[in-house]
Amino acid sequence: MGPPLAAEPDPPWRCRVLIECEPAIKSIIVHLDSVNNDIIIEDLDEQHLVVKENMVHSLKQKLEDRLRETYRPEEPLADSD
């Protein structure tokens, strides 16, 4: 018999994280992933995604940036007088 095979380390994407979110947030995540296809491992349903663990921090930052870009605080109501 030959020498024992050395176990290869798991690729970074093998570490997975289940994300549960509202459909609107999931839509943003899917859009962010569509640029490089480097975030989502599996799209499970309307509210669940499996993503690469090593992309979670980056995903949070990108999501926060996107939400800041699109968030519009309510305009103060004009006086009715």
pLDDT given at position 55: 95
Domain positions in the chain are: 16-69
What pLDDT, on the 0 to 100 scale, is given for residue 70? 83
Residue range 50-80, pLDDT digits in tens: 999 999 999 999 999 999 988 776 655 565 4
pLDDT in tens, 39-49: 999 999 999 99
pLDDT at 71: 76
Quickly name the fold that domain 16-69 has: Alpha-Beta Plaits (3.30.70)
> How far from 22 is each of 19, 47, 48, 76, CA to CA, in Å?
10, 6, 9, 27
| pLDDT of res. 54 | 93
d(CA 24, CA 38): 20
Tokens coding 24: 């609107």
